[in-house]
Chain A
Amino acid sequence: MSEAMLVADRLTRHFGGLTANLEVCITLERGKLHALLGPNGAGKSTCINMLSGDLPPSSGRILLEDRDVTGLDSAARSHRGIGRSYQRTNIFPQFTVLENCRLAAQSRKPRPWRIFTDAMKASDTVERAHAAIVEAGLGGRELRKAGVLSHGEQRQLEIAMVLATDARVLLLDEPLAGMGSEESAQMVELLRKLKQNRAILLVEHDMDAVFAVADTITVMVEGSVLESGPPEQIRNSEEVQAAYLGEEEHG
């Protein structure tokens, strides 16, 4: 039982004379993890930036549950249920883990006019933050400063923040980047749990991880989709091997 949640319809993006994405089509389904692969410069970052609203497409449409969200900025898309984590860790380093997630949760119930209320006492928001921290595997580290966490923990915090916004579509930009093998294994476990009731787009370089959790893989080369399909199809594709996988082995 799969349903399309986020659909990218022929997304194209030019930077001056350079075409970073050409007619890219991707469909994210609830309960499925869709991995986006490709060598450096293939246009993966451009693609995820267009989906999250950080970058407007030159042409093409983005549909969230059949509604056109192409014209919405990242803040508005966040409220429609799209959450994004960043490749370069993008947190509030001076704040505690709890405050990072509490701010994320507060965005669902901002209540800016209550200037005489202590933000820490908004129990629904604080509870949501705690739940997200536990779900992302950071339980017990709520009161540590985000800036002093290990690299792997900061990656987990990135995801906890997205979860705290109650996102139904997760756009995860290289969540395993720079992680050791043990941390990677934990993150793969986490991704497996998270996809159960959400749609996930995973941009990732770690092949083992991708083939372990992905339900669908799309391979991009030079701004276009080379091939898209289940992991076995991608693994056995000669085109993909020629264009990408073989290259990776040597590189």
Chain B
Amino acid sequence: MKAFKALVSAELKLSFRGVDMFIFAICMPIVVLVFIGMLYGDRAAFEGASYTFLEQSFGAVSTIAICAGGVMGLPLVIADYRHRKILKRFKVTPVSPTMILLVQVLVYALYSFVSLLSVYAVGALCFGFVLKGSWLHFIGAYLMVMLSMFSIGILVGGIAPNSKIAGVAASVLYFPMLILSGATLPYEIMPAALQKLANVLPLTQGIKLIKAASLGLSMEAVFSSILIMCLIAVFCSTVSILFFKWE
């Protein structure tokens, strides 16, 4: 426990020193939300919708930090710590190298929660946002999306042969998901062809789930998304455990 606390505090400090997560996980979602709020504001999401465009987008914007931490931050840090032989160094201490991976997961989870809170605060204060659905469903969906995105990141970082390949793989996952899954550019304004393409991305399914939970829509309608999130998490975790490269 002593080691866990010391590691969390050190890794948080290190993370703050590299400003990237502050920009991509904390600032970016707020900027996107403010843009959507100013452009579409309290307009109804579509003709006859019972919720506004902003309310519809809140769930999507709240996943930007999960995406940044999960498929960009985690793979890079895991590949880097392996490359620097930090994982190997932990093997000759009483603490398992798994501990530092858990600490990283916690660090990125914290970024996601801080981002969720700040996006909510900005939405509520500037645009009068209210969560229509149940908070319990929303947090459940949020955690599920986080679990599946983070498991993708651990898999990529865990099996990438080196930092360079991990970086390329992270970019290939991160940028399409950031732009096409609806996290930044609203899914609803995409042309139908693009929507079809976007549906392939795991985060698109995650956002559908979070949206349904945040708007209080029927969860049965997004059952397939729940299933996909679970399958991704199970698949990626299993492959990571089997093939994780410690050095």
Q: A and B, one complex? A: no
- Using a CB–CB cutoff of 8 Å, the interface residues on chain B facing chain A are none
